[in-house]
Amino acid sequence: MKSTKNSISDIALDRRRPNISFEFFPPKNDEMEARLWNAILELKNLTPNFVSVTYGAGGSTRERTHHTIKKIIDETRLKPAAHLTCIAASKDEIQQVIENYWQIGVRHIVALRGDMNASSPNYQLHPDGYKYASELVAAIRKTAGMDFEISVAGYPEKHPDALNLDEDIDNLKRKIDAGANRIITQFFFNTDAFLRFVDKCLDRGIKVPIIPGILPVSNVKQTRHFAKMCGATIPKWMDKIFEDLGEKQEARQIVAGIVACEIARVLYDRGVNDFHFYTLNRCELTSAICHVLGVR
């Protein structure tokens, strides 16, 4: 490990350049489309290793996801990582998506079980579908003539459906054993939780890269909702700061940038060299944090 640094400025002066990647979601209308492409065009200049595009609950954004990915391939030099969820779809439907991805130039899939749309809380698994993300990973890996890179999700504070973190890591190990190349974690605000998670993964024999997911908080209410869904903890001190700021949006942005930079600094000091940013289709905070990390 490198010697401990004392400030954000030490990162900027360090010659070690981290690897970065960004997540976007497919837009619902023309205004959101414009915002998405403003973010993509701004962030592409930071030369990310890849950019991922999400796949809505229950596959609800399938067509918009494909459209966004195709446009990224056609109009930029970025390498897209297409999300794919297996819930609510048959094995044949999943296979068609896999083959379509390959045909349009996708070579990296983020394989997820996925969640059903909130409007269908009492969903049933598809009778001819995959039950777990590990089964989806195996299906992608076994597709003849299509050597995809495969990323899967990890949960530093455990998946909400898991009984405990050890059980969740056992499930994660099954995804790696099925053929996944990389773990991208859900966002978190407790760096100790991430570092303990990495240690537990290593103890279970998981040797693939584990990339921390960083969420710059641009919308506090939305972040609280996301955190509840994915099992992430918002520290009381952080919640209190944003609550005290009320509707002071500019001040909130400054605090959000400081918090995300501090998370990155601590992990950077511990030797982490890969960061995945949940951009929410906005570029300002993510761009600023990358610059602090020495990515220009």
CB 201 within 8 A of CB 183: yes
**Distance in angstroms (rounded) separating the CA atoms of residues 111 and 81:** 10
**Distance in angstroms (rounded) separating the CA atoms of residues 60 and 118:** 11
Q: Is 23 annotated in the active site?
A: yes
CB 81 within 8 A of CB 116: no
**Cα-based distances in Å from 111 to 67, 152, 178, 244:** 19, 5, 11, 39
Neighbouring CB atoms inside 10 A of 162's CB total 16
Task: Out of 23, 63, 99, 167, pick the active-site residue.
Answer: 23
CB 20 within 8 A of CB 277: yes
Structure-token pair, residue 51? 């950019």
Residues annotated catalytic, as ranges: 23
